[in-house]
Amino acid sequence: MGNFGDYQYQFYKAGVLNKTSPFPFTFAEWEHRARENMNPLIYGYVKGGAGDEETQDINVTELRRYGLTPRMLRDRSDRDMSVTFLDRKLPSPVFLCPVGVLGNIRPEGDLEEARVCAELDLVGMYSTLSSATIEEVAEARGESFGIFQLYPTADEKLTESLVKRAEKAGFDAIAVTVDYGTVGWRPRDLSHGFMPMLRGDCIANYTSDPRFRELAGVTSEKDLDPVHAGAVWMDVFANPAFTWDDLGWLRQITELPLIVKGICLPDDAAHAKQLGVDVIACSNHGGRQANGGVPAICHLEQVIEAVGDLPVTFDSGIRDGVDVLRACGLGAALVGIGRPYAYGLAVGGRDGLRTVVSQILAEADLTMAVDCYTELSQLAVERLD
């Protein structure tokens, strides 16, 4: 296998023939093109964050306060961006974060995410809020590493049913999101009165579940009116009473590796480790849930220190390949992207999604080459005060 950065040469070669890429090359351009392509309600849902979006924005800008120190005169002919995560060797540290409206962005959006993960051997973290079922996503992802992202519901039997379905479908891990006890204050969505799930969209994992149908008072999925399904979903989706005791219960009902997503406080990370979780996901939900918070990247090193040898993944504010290196240099085991690939999907479907990921991997690899880093473990990252 060559270096990820070799991806760029095709564009220079095409330029000789006066041909250029149909796709952009920067996050800002992807976002602009996506806005032109998307339904304004869906764009607002993907683009939007909590409150005035200060936390969402500083997640991004704070990452820019960390820089790589170049080192020279070393052989950088080949670079190795591979990592080992939960005993699985992976070609890169990049994973795709759960995004709950992929099926509204493009038909089969959730499956397209899984198919790209299969093509590129990426880790995919697949949202509970999906237009495709757990089982359909599992089939589409092939042999790639699959993580089922779980929102613990207000109904314990439904939560357990979702976990057992993920196990049976062959997922490699469960990621329980703990920063969603209720929907945050999101002015963009409020101004549109838009929550797609209330219209019956992106809740295939619920409507396909026997326990959910029992709660809805029907025996067959075809008997579920979308609006009625959305109303039942609203009643059970969030669980503001989910506590450490419930996390312990979740640890007991599954033998799959358990990831706790949404941890920023070192004491919380340490407590989760004591309960037997396998991975900590340092994240503030990309600034979508709560405004007024400390940028997520500022928590990463302290969370890593609090859990010792336990892997810590990171997401929130990652926009390009250099951001991936920044987080890896601070110790992240994996680094997640969300909005970038969602915009790629909006602009170009599966090809657009694949292109965004390929660009991020190429930029990371080429930055390592220019700075004479041949392995992620060599990265030297400093804060620019």
Note the pLDDT tens digit of each residue in 122-140.
Answer: 999 999 999 999 999 999 9
Q: What is the pLDDT of residue 246?
A: 98
Note the pLDDT tens digit of each residue in 312-371.
Answer: 999 999 999 999 999 999 999 999 999 999 999 999 999 999 999 999 999 999 999 999
Question: Is 339:46 a contact under the CB 8 Å cutoff?
Answer: yes
Q: Taking residues 86-103, report their average pLDDT.
A: 97
Query: What's the CA angle centered on 331, arms 327 and 337, to 5 degrees?
Result: 35
Q: What is the pLDDT of residue 185?
A: 96
At position 235, the amino acid (one-letter code) is D
Q: For this structure, is 285 an active site residue?
A: yes
Rounded distance between C-alpha atoms, residue 268 and residue 5, angstroms: 38
Question: Is 317:53 a contact under the CB 8 Å cutoff?
Answer: no
State whether residue 56 is helix, strand or coil: helix
Q: Quick one: residue 366, left, alpha or beta (phi over 0 = left, psi -120 to 50 = alpha)?
A: alpha
Q: What is the pLDDT of residue 233?
A: 97
* Ramachandran angles phi, psi of 309, nearest 5°: -85, 5
Q: Which fold has domain 4-383?
A: TIM Barrel (3.20.20)
Q: Which residues are annotated as a binding site for FMN?
A: 98-100, 127, 149, 177, 261, 283, 315-319, 338-339
Note the pLDDT tens digit of each residue in 251-273.
Answer: 999 999 999 999 999 999 999 99
The b/e string for 67-87 (b: 16+ C-beta within 10 A; e otherwise) is ebeeeeeeebeebbbebebbe
Residue that has been written with the tokens 């564009």 in this structure: 11
Q: What is the pLDDT of residue 2?
A: 83
Q: What is the pLDDT of residue 113?
A: 98
Q: What is the pLDDT of residue 160?
A: 98
Task: Write out the E strands in the chain.
Answer: 66-68, 83-85, 88-90, 94-96, 123-126, 146-150, 173-177, 258-263, 279-282, 312-314, 335-337, 381-383
Rounded distance between C-alpha atoms, residue 199 and residue 103, angstroms: 13
At position 328, the amino acid (one-letter code) is C
Question: Is 340:319 a contact under the CB 8 Å cutoff?
Answer: yes
Note the pLDDT tens digit of each residue in 28-41.
Answer: 999 999 999 999 99
- Would the pLDDT of 1 be above 70? no
State whether residue 66 is helix, strand or coil: strand
The pTM (predicted TM-score) of the whole model is 0.97
Q: Which residues are annotated as a binding site for glyoxylate?
A: 45, 151, 186, 285, 288
Two structure tokens written together for 253: 């009902």
Identified catalytic residue from 32, 228, 285, 299: 285
Q: What is the pLDDT of residue 205?
A: 98
**Domain parsing of the chain, residue ranges:** 4-383
385 band by pLDDT with thresholds 50, 70 and 90: confident
Number of helices (H) and strands (E), helices first, in the chain?
Answer: 17, 12
- Would the pLDDT of 188 be above 80? yes
Question: Rounded mean pLDDT of the chain?
Answer: 97
CA 209 to chain centre: 24
Two structure tokens written together for 121: 């051997």
State whether residue 45 is helix, strand or coil: helix
